[in-house]
A = this chain, B = another copy of it.
Amino acid sequence: MPIVRSPQNPIITPQDVNASKAGWEVIGVFNAGVAQHRDEVILLLRVAERPINDNPDVYYTPVYDAQTNRLGVRTIERGPNVDFSDVRVIRTPDKNYLTSISHFRVARSRDGILFEIDDKPAVLPSSVYESYGIEDPRITLIEGTFYITYSAISEYGICTALLSTKDFVSFRREGNVFHPDNKDVVIFPRRIGGKYYALHRPSCSHYGKPEMWIAESDDLRLWGNHRHLIGVREGEWDGGRIGAGAVPFEIEEGWLEIYHGADADNRYCLGALLLDKDEPWKVVARSALPFMEPEEAFEVEGFFGNVIFPCGVLVENRVVKMYYGASDTSVGYAEIPLDDLVAHLVRGSAEPSPTA
């Protein structure tokens, strides 16, 4: 597929963002929510940071404390009973911690490539459900309000919470809309047959796999009628885990959803879904093969390499303008001709949904 990556890629890197606290460093800016607001492109960046550490005997894990409303540091002695094998997680016999903590920062651009990044966080962790940070915002514009779903991480699990804003200056917190574990929630941009819909990705502890579901709502805050949408395909590029990527957008043929699929080696590629326009729980077509894979150096190498991860797109003149996190480190930009994406889907294997 004729995907055009920006020659300026990665368009935003950790060097472009200052830390929120003295003595801390930004290690990643990625997985940004995307919106068009007036004449600007807005990115709501996920900024991952951690305390600078010169002591090789300990690890400083950043934790938000809801009681004092402060970002703090927990010190973990390095030792044989602490597992650092995943760069993102510290596993102690007691609990798991994250090696960094994320907040959201606003970036603005006129041309969609060169961004001015705020000095200060727009949204910081602020409750017991966010003690390990807030991650992966997705923005849906509905009747003049931007609704932002995001992962709220804590020792209580991974919830999806909701924010709303009209201006990306003041944000209103709408609480946990999905109970743990659930992430990769994207809200459709209008009511369909009188209901709002969202794609979501529960993680199960028993039988189920990390797969995509669809739910409905009357008010964007209370959700139900949960139905399984698509599953992983064992041994294939999306055989390990799948989840919504970008917020779905409407085309003549239905709803187009760009999703991420990881294989057993945690390599994240992108596929697409075409969902029925009136009954979005019905899958019309699904990519047989990914339409985009990590290829460029910044997509292959980084804090957690081999990941491309979009949270939102803008669609203009039949071009899908995609902002994507790369290797949990930086932001990339690519343009995809919509007609090629649709042709790719039509060639792809259609699969009926179980509830169809």
Contact = CB atoms under 8 A, between A and B. Distances in A.
Nearest to A155: B207
A72 interface: no
A154 B207 contact: yes
Contacts of A156: 207-208, 211, 228, 354
Given A128-B354, A155-B207, A179-B200, A224 B226 contact: no
A207 B128 contact: no
Nearest to A195: B222
Nearest to A96: B207
A228 B176 CA distance: 10
Interface stretch (A106-114, A212-220, A333-341): A212-220
Contact of A207 (B132, B175, B178): B132
A221 interface: yes
Interface in A322-356: 354-355
B181 A208 contact: yes
Contact of A223 (B95, B182, B224): B224
Interface size bracket, A side: 35 or more
A75 interface: no
Interface in A4-55: none
Interface in A83-113: 95-96
Interface in A309-333: none
A125 interface: no
A208 B155 contact: yes
A181 B206 contact: yes
Contact of A204 (B95, B205, B211, B217): B205
Contacts of A228: 128-129, 156
A139 interface: no
Given A204-B181, A205-B205, A206-B181, A226 B154 contact: no
Which residue, A128, A158, A202, has most C-beta atoms of chain B within 10 A? A202
Given A128-B354, A213-B179, A158 B224 contact: no
Interface of A: 66, 95-96, 127-129, 132, 153-159, 175-182, 200, 202-208, 211, 213, 215-219, 221-228, 354-355
23 contacts: A153-B207, A155-B208, A157-B204, A157-B206, A158-B204, A158-B206, A158-B207, A175-B225, A176-B224, A176-B225, A178-B226, A179-B182, A179-B200, A179-B215, A180-B226, A181-B202, A181-B205, A203-B204, A218-B222, A221-B224, A222-B224, A222-B225, A223-B224
